[in-house]
């Protein structure tokens, strides 16, 4: 459910009028609801309560340290994909022993530092990665927990850019190679196999692919049991979709129930790695209309947020609801909502029926996940601030980037000596 609602023709998050946010912090800016984030996290925790479970929030969905801190306070674990994300979690007060480390390209320094911090487990995505972890752990005289990320070859029926569990995908280990690899691991003394994992994609709106994944993982789990390899956990990844437009994803409760029904018989812990389902609908991007531009073919609303601030529409052709912060009774027109970036792909929404005036504020809904975390400085634009609303209070949790910061780490050349 969205965190936005209208009161007296004005758009609110919790008790705050978004118009006041724009006045205080300027636009564009990201605005999140604390209560929505916590409610979603708790919904997962509550829904899985009948079995042993561990929620590892996928940090890449939204990695602001204030948000990570809120989740750490709820005792959340974290799924990370880089050293940077690990350091964020630790800076936010997260417990390293609740971190699982995913990703196909873990570098040596990343593995070393994660071992040093004693994270819970590496989700290993290839045999060479396994060998690298074994070598490092052996050199550091320690034993490291690993899970094998399995590629189950299941189509989640989502956008191809966010499909990760098909044979042609770079992620995970072929399901047919898992048993022999597990046997090999038994002979290694610096790594301990404690689980199997899978993550087949994102924005999945049907239960069926999740059920297929669990079946395949349980199948592998039992095969391993038969050869004397006993696992502590099964990690089913993240991927639960949210409603952006007219999708009807299973609710958190329904999703959890279906998975628990399959896991009940086994005395095994489940790890889940939700990202989008926790933060996606807990945040918006607030932007102001700079110009209305009418051509013979189209009406454009040119706004002050672009694809560098919110990439999803340009990258995935994603549809996000766009709402006026102050609703007008005047006649609606069809608009393309475009940003200022010099790319034709720079749009936030197409063919939207809205009544607009220059200077109006727009809220781009469902921007809490893969919004700020995918933002960039393209076109030398400063990244927007992030604001967390908690009841009657709005807190700046990341200030707007400054022009100085844009090139602070660059250097001009001394050209005097090369004529
Ligand atoms: C991105 C990712 C997730 C989170 O996916 P969502 O669709 O945001 O829930 C979980 N696990 C892994 C390994 C990921 O790469």
Ranges of each domain in the chain = 4-31+280-406, 95-274
95-274 belongs to CATH 3.10.150.10: no
Q: Check residue 204 and report its DSSP letter.
A: B
Identify any residues that bridge with 338 across adjacent strands, giving them in sequence order. 302, 347
**Residue 17: closest CA among 382, 387, 401:** 387
Q: Which pLDDT value is given to residue 163?
A: 79
Atom of ligand 1 nearest to the CA of 277: 9
- Preceding peptide of 382 cis, ω within 30°: no
Measured between alpha carbons, how far is 154 from 213 in angstroms, rounded to an integer?
Answer: 7
- Specify the CATH number of the domain 4-31+280-406: 2.40.37.10
From 217, 273, 316, mutation site for ligand 1 pocket: most ligand atoms within 8 A of C-beta = 273
146 CA to centre of ligand 1 in angstroms? 18
Residue 144 and residue 112 in contact, taking contact as beta carbons nearer than 8 Å: no
418 catalytic? Reply is no
Retrieve residue 106's tokens. Answer: 């873990």
Q: Check residue 10 and report its DSSP letter.
A: E
Atom of ligand 1 nearest to the CA of 123: 13
Measured between alpha carbons, how far is 85 from 61 in angstroms, rounded to an integer?
Answer: 11
From 37, 41, 61, mutation site for ligand 1 pocket: most ligand atoms within 8 A of C-beta = 61
Tens of pLDDT along the chain (419 residues)? 789 999 999 999 999 999 999 999 999 999 999 999 999 999 999 999 999 999 999 999 999 999 999 999 999 999 999 999 999 999 999 999 999 999 999 999 999 999 999 999 999 999 999 999 999 999 999 999 999 999 998 888 888 887 787 778 888 899 999 999 999 999 999 999 999 999 999 999 999 999 999 999 999 999 999 999 999 999 999 999 999 999 999 999 999 999 999 998 888 999 999 999 999 999 999 999 999 999 999 999 999 999 999 999 999 999 999 999 999 899 999 999 999 999 989 999 999 999 999 999 999 999 999 999 999 999 999 999 999 999 999 999 999 999 999 999 999 998 887 65
- Residue 280, helix vs strand vs coil: helix
Identify any residues that bridge with 124 across adjacent strands, giving them in sequence order. 148
**Residue 30: closest CA among 366, 406, 290:** 366
Residue 262 and residue 338 in contact, taking contact as beta carbons nearer than 8 Å: no
Task: Indicate the length of the chain as a whole number.
Answer: 419
Q: Which pLDDT value is given to residue 131?
A: 97
Measured between alpha carbons, how far is 60 from 58 in angstroms, rounded to an integer?
Answer: 6
Q: Check residue 402 and report its DSSP letter.
A: P
44 CA to centre of ligand 1 in angstroms? 15
Atom of ligand 1 nearest to the CA of 204: 7
Retrieve residue 389's tokens. Answer: 């609303």
From 60, 125, 201, mutation site for ligand 1 pocket: most ligand atoms within 8 A of C-beta = 60
Atom of ligand 1 nearest to the CA of 369: 8
Measured between alpha carbons, how far is 229 from 372 in angstroms, rounded to an integer?
Answer: 42
202 CA to centre of ligand 1 in angstroms? 6
Q: How many helices (H) and strands (E) does the chain have?
A: 12, 21
CB-CB neighbours of 417 under 10 Å = 6
Measured between alpha carbons, how far is 246 from 252 in angstroms, rounded to an integer?
Answer: 17
295 CA to centre of ligand 1 in angstroms? 41
**Residue 252: closest CA among 232, 282, 272, 229:** 272
Its sign, for the CA torsion 252, 255, 259, 260, is positive
Whole-model pTM: value is 0.96
Give me the catalytic one of 3, 29, 56, 342: 342
185 CA to centre of ligand 1 in angstroms? 26
The residues lining ligand 1, judged by C-beta closer than 6 Å to any ligand atom, are: 58, 60-61, 79, 81, 102, 199, 202, 237-240, 273-277, 369
- What is the DSSP code string of 229-281? ---SEEE----B---SSS--PPPHHHHHHHHHHHHTTS--EEEE--SHHHHGG
Q: Which pLDDT value is given to residue 415?
A: 85
Measured between alpha carbons, how far is 95 from 99 in angstroms, rounded to an integer?
Answer: 7
Residue 183: phi, psi to the nearest 5?
-60, -45
Measured between alpha carbons, how far is 414 from 398 in angstroms, rounded to an integer?
Answer: 35
188 CA to centre of ligand 1 in angstroms? 29
Task: Give, in order, the Cα–Cα distances in Å from 254 to each of 18, 44, 210, 257, 259.
Answer: 33, 10, 12, 5, 9
Q: Which pLDDT value is given to residue 191?
A: 98
Q: Which pLDDT value is given to residue 419?
A: 59
Identify any residues that bridge with 33 across adjacent strands, giving them in sequence order. 389
């Amino acid at each position: 459910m969205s965190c936005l609602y209208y009161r007296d023709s004005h758009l609110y998050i919790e008790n705050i009028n978004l118009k006041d946010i724009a006045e205080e912090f300027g636009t564009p800016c990201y605005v999140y609801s604390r209560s929505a984030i916590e409610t979603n996290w708790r919904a997962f925790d509550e829904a899985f309560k009948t079995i042993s479970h561990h929620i590892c929030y996928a940090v890449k969905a939204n990695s602001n340290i204030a948000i990570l801190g809120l989740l750490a306070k709820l005792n959340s674990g974290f799924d990370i994909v880089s050293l940077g994300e690990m350091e964020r979690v630790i800076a936010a007060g997260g417990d390293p022993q609740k971190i699982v480390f995913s990703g196909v390209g873990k570098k040596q320094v990343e593995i070393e530092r994660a071992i040093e911090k004693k994270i819970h487990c590496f989700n290993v995505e290839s045999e060479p990665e396994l060998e690298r972890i074994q070598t490092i752990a052996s050199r550091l005289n320690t034993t490291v927990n690993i899970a094998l990320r399995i590629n189950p070859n299941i189509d989640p029926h989502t956008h191809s850019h966010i499909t990760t569990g098909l044979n042609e995908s770079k992620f995970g280990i072929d399901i047919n190679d898992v048993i022999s690899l597990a046997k090999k691991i038994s002979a290694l003394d610096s790594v301990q196999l404690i689980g199997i994992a899978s993550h087949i994609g994102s924005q999945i709106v049907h239960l069926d692919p999740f059920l297929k994944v669990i079946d395949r993982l349980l199948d592998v789990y039992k095969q391993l049991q038969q050869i004397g390899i006993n696992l502590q956990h099964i990690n089913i990844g993240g991927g639960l979709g949210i409603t952006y437009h007219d999708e009807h994803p299973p609710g958190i409760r329904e999703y959890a129930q279906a998975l628990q029904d399959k896991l009940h018989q086994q005395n095994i812990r489940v790890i889940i790695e939700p990202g989008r389902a926790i933060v996606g609908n807990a945040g918006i991007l607030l932007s102001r209309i700079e110009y209305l531009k009418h051509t013979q073919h189209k009406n454009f609303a040119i706004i002050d947020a672009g694809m560098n601030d919110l990439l999803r529409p340009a990258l995935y052709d994603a549809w996000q609801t766009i709402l006026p912060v102050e609703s007008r009774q005047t006649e609606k027109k069809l608009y393309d909502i475009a940003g200022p970036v010099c790319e034709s792909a720079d749009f936030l929404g197409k063919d939207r029926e809205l009544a607009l005036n220059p200077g109006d504020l727009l809220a781009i809904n469902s921007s809490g996940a893969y919004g700020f975390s995918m933002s960039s400085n393209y076109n030398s634009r400063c990244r927007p601030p992030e604001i967390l609303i908690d009841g009657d209070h709005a807190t700046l949790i990341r200030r707007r980037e400054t022009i100085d910061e844009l090139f602070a780490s660059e250097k001009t050349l001394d050209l005097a000596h090369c004529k």
